[in-house]
Structures are given as structure tokens and as C-alpha cells.
Amino acid sequence: MTDPAGPRRWGRRPSLSNWGDFGEDDQLGRLNLINPECVLRAVREVRTGQSFCLSLPLDLPGGNVLNPRRHPPRLQPTVRDGRPVFNLPIGDARLGQTDVLCDDAVLIHTQYSTQWDAFSHVGHLFDVDGNGQPQAVYYNGFRAGKDLIGPNDSEGRGTGAHRLGIETFAEKAIQSRGVLVDLKAIAGLQRVRIGYDAFMRAVEACGAQLHKGDILCVYTGFADLLMDMKGAPDPALRDTLCAVLDGRDERLLHWIVDSGIAALCADNYGVEEIPAGGPHECGARLPLHELCLFKQGIPLGELWYFRELQSTLASQGRSTFLLTAPPLRLPGAVGSPVTPVATL
């Protein structure tokens, strides 16, 4: 089903989408719900002054077991006058100058470790003009080639996303109230697809009422295992351990739409089961990504690290906190490493 209504830039928009609701050229989606009132509500969660890093070390998981396309960061020194700039004296010893310099560069896969997905990360083939010819379209009807992807440079490399790049999230300076929902408490470390009923039990157990503009954080224990494996992850980890959301559960998808959350973050590899329902399903292989990134403009965070935060929240009988989590302000990137900070 599609909704024939919508801004003039397109003829149709997908069912369950909010395209145009925040403006024809909007690139922030549900991050628009984070207004000053939301931020002030989040700041009121700060009671003890404790802060927690919610990022894995960015060289974890380790290797490329979870995704063969993504590799650990590669650090190397820069070069000065043919010499690597690491423990490099740069002064004139005859004059008694004492400066020693280190300077480095990094090649980083933006979605290797703790990350945000930008809306340009996942699009879909959709008949946006209603003429029977599906085309690659992204959130808010931005089209591949025409609106989104820049031209290749002289060496044939893409020049990034001209719309919906991760820099829009950075410019928003993501900060709101985080709400931690503990799926590990109901599933242990077993691989369980969590649908609407189980998820509602977990939400009720967290004891917090979700408000419009909150950021929902899902704890499964997956990142805990990665941390404990110290860069040598078990190849079976991605597909056999820890809870995942059931992206095929229509009631769960409708709840996400109605919840008013501004973003959804999890400590597992992809928030939902990948691929959802098996490799031969028709339609979206990643239906929750389709809903969040393509239809609703809900940023997805993956491989976040919640162990110490969850333990402290539980000891205090609470599940809410101030969450500050802007990505890198890297124009055109379709994802970004992030070092989220929770403050209690």
C-alpha cells in the first residue's frame, strides 16, 4: 500500500512513512522531535554526575568476522621530510630545542564498530512516481543519482551523499533523554527474535514512560561478549547469540511508528535479525531498517556498549539518562563512528 498524499516532489510515498511531514527538503526525520523541551527533560535526569562511555574501542569487534567488507581502523604516522612522525625530534638540538612530535592518520570504515547509520545508508526500490517503474529512493523521497549520490571523481570514486549525509546528524548535535530497555533480562544470551509482546514486557519492566523525542536504547549483552573476546570474535557470534528485534513483526513496527522515539540504538550487530526471516524473503531483507531509515527517518545506532551503564541504572532503580551522541561531522558519509556519553 502507498499513500497518494505527499509533497509535490514525488507522486507517492510508502505506507507508514512520514515523508514531507517535516518539510519537503527535510533531512533530519524524527530527530526534529528533539526540541529544547526534550533536551531540558534529559538534563533533569542528571542526578549523580556519573558519566559512561557507550562506545566499544573502535578496533573492535576485531578482524572482519561480522562483516567481510568492513575492517579495523588502520593507524599510521604522517611523514615529514621522508621520516615517520612518531617520536620525531623536530627542533634544532644545537640550539637546545627539545620538541618531539607524534602525528598520525587513520583509515577507518565508518560502520565497523560503534556507529550511527545515516538515512543515506539504506534506500529501496520504490515506484515513487506511480508509473510502474521502481527506482532507488531514500528517506523523504530523495532519489539516487538525482538528489543523493554525488558524481564520480576523475578516478571513478564516488564523492559521497549530497543529501542525507551523516553531517546532518552532527549539525543537529544529538542530545536527548535515553531510555534503556533490557532484553538480556528476558532472553539471556540466547538468540531470540523479540517481537511486540516480548518487547512490551521489556519496556514495562524498564519502568519509564517513553516521551516524544526520547532515544530508545536496547541492551542484549552482544557488545559485552565482543568486549570480552578482546578482538578475536567467535565466528558464530553474529547469528547465534543474543536477542534481536523481529523486523517482520508488524505490531512491533507500528509501535515504533507510534512511539515518538527520535532514534533507536542497540548493542548488537544490526538491531534486527539479518536477514530478517531468511535470505529468500520477498521485499525488504531488513524491514526494520526499511521502516526506520527509509520510511520514518529514525537513526539507527549499532554496536553500542551498555554493560556498565545498565548495571549502574539497575542499582539505582532507573532506566533513563542524559544521552549525548553526535557523530563525526563528515560531509557525505553514510555512517559514522560515535562515542556516545550517558550522564546520570
Based on its alpha-carbon atoms, the radius of gyration of the chain, rounded to whole angstroms, reads 22
pLDDT single digits (tens) 51-76: 999 999 999 999 999 999 999 999 99
Average model confidence (pLDDT) across the chain:
92
Pairing of strands 115-117, 135-137: unpaired
The pLDDT of 234-246, averaged and rounded, is: 91
Judging by beta carbons within 10 Å of its beta carbon (0-12, 13-18, 19+), is residue 325 exposed, middle or buried? Answer: buried
The pLDDT of 168-196, averaged and rounded, is: 97
Q: Is 0.75 surpassed by the pTM of this model?
A: yes
H or E stretch covering 201? helix 196-206
Domains and CATH numbers, the chain: 28-65+111-120+164-343 (3.50.30.50)
Calculate what percentage of the chain has a pLDDT beyond 70.
93
pLDDT single digits (tens) 24-33: 999 999 999 9
- Determine the Cα–Cα distance for residues 199 and 236; give it in Å rounded to an integer: 25
pLDDT single digits (tens) 137-159: 999 999 988 777 665 554 545 56
The residue written with cell numbers 571523481 in the block is: 153
